[in-house]
Amino acid sequence: MKKRILLISLLALLSQGICLAQPNQTKAVEDFKPSSVNQQGKQFPQVNSERRVRVSISAPEALKVQLDIGGVKYDMVKDDKGVWTGESAPQDEGFHYYQLNVDGASVPDQGTKYFYGAGRWGSGIEIPATDQEFYALKDVPHGLVSENTYFSKITNSFRRCFVYTPAGYEKDAKTRYPVLYLQHGSFEDETGWASQGKANLILDNLIAAGKAVQMIIVMDNGYAYKPQSGETNGRLASAFEEVMIQEIIPMIDAKFRTIADREHRAIAGLSMGANQTMRIIMNNLGKFASYGGFSGTSNYPSSDEIDPATFLDGKFKDGAALNKQLKIFWLGLGTKEPKPFPGSVGAFRKMLEKQGIKYVYYESPETAHEWLTWRRDLNEFAQRLFK
C-alpha cells in the first residue's frame, strides 16, 4: 500500500512538472549571444547553440528569482553585486513567451521587446530555427503594414486591424488584389501575426521569389462582444462573425483596392482563430473560397467518430457540393502538439475523407502549439492561394 501511495504521489508530481523548478543537469555551452528581439543595446537575454536561454536581472533585495519559460521555472543564482543569472534547458526552435519570477511576482524582462500574448504584454525570445530564412528580413521589396482604426456599431466600440499591402501597392493605382483575412489565437490580439508571426516578412519573401501572388492580408482582433450581450455558459457570446461579415469586409473593400468576390477572398487563423474562421467560412461560403486552419482545437471533438450530420450544423454533409465551393481547405499541426489536438484532428480528417471532402494536411516538424508552427503553416498555405 505504501509503495502504491508513493507511486501515485510521484505520478502526480510528474503530471504537474510544468510548475516545478527544474535544475540544470549539465553545464551549458558558453557560446551565448544576445537574442534577436532584445531591446537596443541590451546584452540579455541570450541564446546558445544548444538553444538554452540565459537571463540576467539586478535585484539585490530579492530572496528568490526564477526564469519561467514554457511553464517551467528555473532557479537563478545571485552574485555579490545582487545580479541574478540563470539559464533554461534547451528549447524548441522558434518564438517563445517567458517571464521572470521575483519573490513570487511575475514580471517581464526589461531586456526584451514586449509582445502581446498569454493575455498580457510581456517578454519574448527567438530561438534560431534551421529554416528561419523563410521569415528573415531580407533585401527584397517590402510591403507596408498599416494600422486601421474604425468604429464598430455592432460592438459600440472603436476597434483596429492591421493591413499588409504588398510592395508597389502605393505606386500602382489600378491593380486590385485578393485578400486573406488572418486571425490570431486565444489571449493574443491583432498585433500577433505581424509581430510574433512575421506575416509581412513571409509574404515579402514569397512574393519576391515568385512563390506567392501579391495579396492583401487583414489582421483583426478576434475578441468582439455586443454591449450588454447575454452570457453563454458564463461567458459573453462572441459577435466576431457579425463584425467580420458586416463591418470588416465592407470596410476593407471600400478602403483598399481589393478583388471583391469570394474566389479572391480567403480566411485563416491559428488555434482559437482557426475555430473562429472555420465557423465563419462554413456559415458564409458566399464570401470565401479558401480556408486555413492552423492548430485548430475545439472545432475537432475528442471522440473517435464525428457525425457530419450534426457537426457544425451539418455543414459537412454534402462533400461533393463543398468540393465545388472550396478551392483550398487546409489543416496544419505541429508534430509535438499536445493531446487532444492530434487525436481529435485525426477524427476530423477521417470524417472529411468519409465524406469525400478534399483537403490539404500539413505537419510542422518538431514544433508544438507555438509560433514557428503557424509561421510554417502560413508560408505553405500562402503559396497555394489565389492560383
Residue 311 has pLDDT above 60, yes or no: yes
Predicted local distance difference test score (pLDDT) of residue 10: 35
Predicted local distance difference test score (pLDDT) of residue 116: 96
The whole-chain average pLDDT of the chain stands at: 90
Could you please state the CATH topology (level 3) that the domain comprising 133-382 is classified under.
Answer: Rossmann fold (3.40.50)
Predicted local distance difference test score (pLDDT) of residue 1: 41
Average pLDDT estimate for 35-59: 97
End-to-end Cα separation, the chain, in angstroms? 66
Predicted local distance difference test score (pLDDT) of residue 235: 65
Taking only Cα atoms into account, the Rg of the chain, rounded to an integer number of angstroms, comes to 23
Distance CA 115, CA 102 (A): 20
pLDDT confidence bin for 285, thresholds 50/70/90: very high
Predicted local distance difference test score (pLDDT) of residue 12: 35
Domain residue extents for the chain = 19-128, 133-382
Strands 216-220 and 179-183: parallel
Residue 157 has pLDDT above 50, yes or no: yes
Average pLDDT estimate for 318-342: 87
Average pLDDT estimate for 47-75: 96
User: Which residues, other chains included, contact 3 with Cβ-Cβ below 8 Å and sequence gap of 6+?
Assistant: none
- Give the closest residue to 252 by CA, choosing from 180, 156, 169: 180
pLDDT confidence bin for 247, thresholds 50/70/90: very high
Predicted local distance difference test score (pLDDT) of residue 13: 32
Distance CA 304, CA 160 (A): 40
Distance CA 295, CA 334 (A): 7
Predicted local distance difference test score (pLDDT) of residue 342: 47
Same fold: 19-128 with 133-382:
no
Percent of the chain surpassing pLDDT 90: 80
Predicted local distance difference test score (pLDDT) of residue 64: 98
Predicted local distance difference test score (pLDDT) of residue 236: 75
Predicted local distance difference test score (pLDDT) of residue 213: 98
Phi (first) and psi of residue 246, to 5 degrees: -90, -20
pLDDT confidence bin for 307, thresholds 50/70/90: confident
Whether omega for the bond prior to residue 340 falls within 30 degrees of 0, making it cis, is: yes
Distance CA 327, CA 232 (A): 34
Q: pTM of the entire structure?
A: 0.89
| Least confident span in 260-274, 297-311, 368-382 | 297-311
Predicted local distance difference test score (pLDDT) of residue 310: 87
Residue 297 has pLDDT above 70, yes or no: no
Q: How far is CA 160 from CA 34, 152, 219, 254, 306, in A?
A: 33, 9, 9, 16, 37
- Give the closest residue to 165 by CA, choosing from 101, 85, 255, 75: 255
Segment 215-242, tens digit of pLDDT: 999 999 999 999 875 555 556 789 999 9
Residue 61 has pLDDT above 70, yes or no: yes
Residue 316 has pLDDT above 50, yes or no: yes
Residue 288 has pLDDT above 90, yes or no: yes
- Give the closest residue to 170 by CA, choosing from 257, 80, 79, 56: 257
Average pLDDT estimate for 38-65: 97
pLDDT confidence bin for 300, thresholds 50/70/90: low
Residue 18 has pLDDT above 50, yes or no: no
Residues 287, 266 contacting (CB under 8 angstroms) = no
User: Which residues, other chains included, contact 350 with Cβ-Cβ below 8 Å and sequence gap of 6+?
Assistant: 305, 306
Residue 382 has pLDDT above 70, yes or no: yes
- The domain defined by 19-128 carries CATH number 2.60.260.20: no
User: Which residues, other chains included, contact 175 with Cβ-Cβ below 8 Å and sequence gap of 6+?
Assistant: 169, 214, 257
Residue 188 has pLDDT above 50, yes or no: yes
